[in-house]
A and B are shown apart, each in its own frame.
Chain A
Amino acid sequence: MANPIDIAAQATPPTIARKVRGLSDRAIAWIFVAPTIFLLLAINIFPLIWTIRLSFTNYAANKPNAEVKWVGLRNYERILTDEDIWSHMTTTAHFLIWTIFFQVLIGFTLAWLINRKFKGNDLLTTLIVLPMMLSPAVVGNFWTFLYQPQIGVVNYVVEFFTGIPAASFSMLGPGGLAPWSIVIVDTWMWTPFVMLICLAGLRSIPDYIYEAAEVDRASKWRQFWTITVPMVLPFLMLAVLFRGIENFKMFDMVNLLTGGGPGSETLLTSIDLKREAFEKWRTGYSSAYAIILFVTVFGLASIYVKALNKVKER
């Protein structure tokens, strides 16, 4: 039987074959890679460079005929000295830190519990991961109803357990609960994702390591801290990286739940940036804003990835 590669080679038109035959392996590699590089340049690199350029101007996209002035570092200066923006940064940091904390804690615990053989394991896993399969827009909308003080189930559950009247407080309204309410929703939605990654980590630990530990009479507690945690840690760190990047740019769900309110208590930087760019049309200013956020997330992610690599090398 003829080799499929030979068949394919014979099927290649002689003119193309002649042309390719004259090229080096490196040149052929470039031909294959070129379209991807071109797309990457067109879709990612060019817009980035263009955004950097715009960030030094007063350009407004809704005034195409207006004179575009070079303003130097003025946009950056205004953003970095704006107390409101620092307040939005703090709000974003609060959201980021607490969502990651709860997702890691609950996600790892769930993974650890589910990484055992019991009846209904597969069904339970499927049920747990359901929230992350939903659209953030859907999640935002139905949690708005769940949080509604008069008809929402959340307030009634609180009333049942604490005796605090359901209609006396609002999870998304004034009173300081709104920043925690958005943390709860994001945790509900994305904990399964962290759980799945942790589960992959737990299942990658060979049984013989635990068996060796048993032989050495290591306690379950010691096995957990000296085997389970170190071996799952790279996976956990990867989950933190993914969730960190995702939540840094969180927009849809929070926008639907609170619109940034009450006041600006849940106004994340991504929501603020969208308003600056596409409602106020301060394109130059918002370009600088976007670059600052990009540098922040890129810088933090780079440091984090180095730490992750060190953990993996251990």
Chain B
Amino acid sequence: MSRKTLVATAALGLVWAAQANAQANELTLCWAAWDPANALVELSKDFEAQSGTKMNFEFVPWPNFADRMLNELNSGGQLCDLMIGDSQWIGGAAENGWYLKLNDFFDAEGISMDAFVPATVTGYSEWPKNTPNYWSLPAFGDVVGWTYRKDWFERPEIQAAFKEKTGRDLTPPATMAELKEVAEFFQGRDIDGKTVYGASIYTERGSEGITMGAMDVLYSFGFKYDNPDKPYEMEGFVNSEGSVAGLEFYKSLYDCCVAPGTSNTYMGEGIDAYKSGQVALQMNFAFTWPGFEVDPNVGGGKTGYLVNPAGPGGERFAQLGGQGISVVANTDNMDGALAYIKWFAQQDVQQKWWSMGGFSCLRAVVEDPAFATSQPYAQTFLDSMAIVKDFWAEPSYASLLQASQARFHDYVVAGNGTAKEALDGLIADWTEVFEDEGKL
């Protein structure tokens, strides 16, 4: 080997070694592109400073998040070392080996799942559900709730008009019936020279929007996914009388009280409608609430926060959102990824996370006496997290979700058929999926 070749080979080796070393000191965290992700970037600077690990972030807008990231996981890609994936992915991620099982790590590091809000542990970490098999650390608690224009509700002339129309005082709705009554009252009303509308609800067709919205209402009307005593038996549960009434209610809310042209709206459109003063009530995930508090149009005390109103029987549930943070099984920086999770689980980090707009799931944070008054929406968040239910988290959740998207949109928005037909059809679709999975 000539001297020149030797020098060149050594240089190449050095470059390769430097690159490998750099990769070993880098982590890429994948999540949705939204406000909490920006807060996490800021929070993670503390981790970078403490560990010397450089954090990279891959954020994808919500409508494409599942598509993009599930493709990434499925293809065995190495883009992400850490994944803050949606709660419904957990079954597929566990069974397909996409995420690292964290039990041993939690035991070794003394991280106890008892330290986290139980609903978030079940929703974000466990698979199979209600078993102590953990695939993620609860990272961001979220739940569907409602915001309302408190400033409008407090105006004497609006209160008088409402009393005249309904015979009762204008108060934040506590039941679904009251919610619809309030929405009907505001629909088409002139406020400050502008026509406003009753409510913004989820109607999006492409990803998961209308399912999240409809389910948020259906639970409180008695909807259950299956027989609690006989898993996957859906007849009489999915299409129970209560479920039918719930779906009819959601359609009636869509028909009476949304702004024109809102046949395909989800979180972003809801935020826009609310901030622009278009609607009196807004259904949306809790992650949107910190943004409203600082908004010049609806912030500064103009917004009130509501736990999902109760159904006709007094039952009250809410659709779970939020995610856990997981280690991608084929990461080439396993130690770094686990170190991040260990760091993130610390109480002071979680406390800071909450102060920056991240909805911590750590009980020590949310059960702190000062928590409920720390933000105007803190108590509503706590109350909502206590009544959550989640969509199927089965490995085949995407098929189950697409079926409900089609059935709900077809009935609620397109106005085809009846609620009973939609739910009967949904059982047929879900049965086919479970048969394919060998679970029926």
Q: A residues bordering B, Cβ < 8 Å? A: 58, 61-65, 84, 147-150, 152, 167-168, 170, 172-174, 255, 258-265, 267, 275, 278-282
Contact = CB atoms under 8 A, between A and B. Distances in A.
B261 A279 contact: no
A281 B406 contact: no
Given A261-B413, A279-B398, A280-B399, A65 B263 contact: no
A267 B402 CA distance: 12
B74 interface: yes
Contact of A278 (B67, B92, B205, B414): B67
B205 A260 contact: yes
B299 interface: no
B398 A281 contact: yes
B204 A259 contact: yes
A282 B399 CA distance: 9
Given A262-B409, A262-B410, A279-B398, 12 more contacts: A61-B74, A62-B70, A65-B96, A167-B260, A173-B261, A173-B262, A262-B413, A263-B409, A264-B410, A264-B414, A265-B414, A282-B436
A147 B411 CA distance: 22
Contacts of A63: 95-96, 395
B402 A279 contact: yes
A55 to B, nearest CB: 16
A262 B71 contact: no
Contacts of B205: 258-262
B206 interface: yes
A255 B67 CA distance: 14
B436 to A, nearest CB: 8
B101 to A, nearest CB: 16
A150 B204 contact: no
A150 B262 CA distance: 10
Q: Which DSSP category, helix, strand, loop or mixed, fits chain A's interface?
A: loop
B12 to A, nearest CB: 30
Interface of B: 66-67, 70-71, 74, 92, 95-97, 204-206, 259-264, 395-396, 398-399, 402, 406, 409-411, 413-416, 436
A106 to B, nearest CB: 27
Contact of A172 (B97, B261, B395): B261
B319 to A, nearest CB: 20
Contacts of B206: 255, 259-261
Contact of B416 (A170, A263, A281): A263
Contacts of B67: 278-279
A313 to B, nearest CB: 47
4 shortest interchain CB distances as A-B pairs: A263-B414, A263-B410, A259-B206, A173-B263
Nearest to B261: A149
B204 A173 contact: no
A147 B206 CA distance: 18
Contacts of A168: 260
A61 B204 CA distance: 27
A150 B66 CA distance: 31
Contact of A261 (B70, B263, B395, B396): B263
A281 B92 CA distance: 11
B374 to A, nearest CB: 37
Contacts of B410: 262-264
B71 A278 contact: yes
Contact of B406 (A58, A150, A258, A263): A263
B74 A62 contact: yes
A63 B96 CA distance: 6
Contacts of B97: 65
Contacts of A264: 406, 409-410, 414
A265 B409 CA distance: 10
A261 B412 CA distance: 11
B106 to A, nearest CB: 25
A288 to B, nearest CB: 14
A273 B398 CA distance: 14
16 contacts: A63-B95, A147-B261, A170-B261, A174-B413, A259-B205, A260-B205, A263-B413, A264-B406, A265-B414, A267-B406, A278-B67, A278-B71, A279-B402, A281-B74, A282-B399, A282-B436
A294 B416 CA distance: 31
A64 B415 CA distance: 40
Given A62-B74, A262-B409, A280 B398 contact: yes
Contacts of A147: 261
Give the residue among B411, B414, B415, B416 with the most A Cβ atoms within 10 A: B414
A267 B205 CA distance: 11
Give the residue among A64, A174, A263, A279 with the most B Cβ atoms within 10 A: A263
A65 B92 CA distance: 13
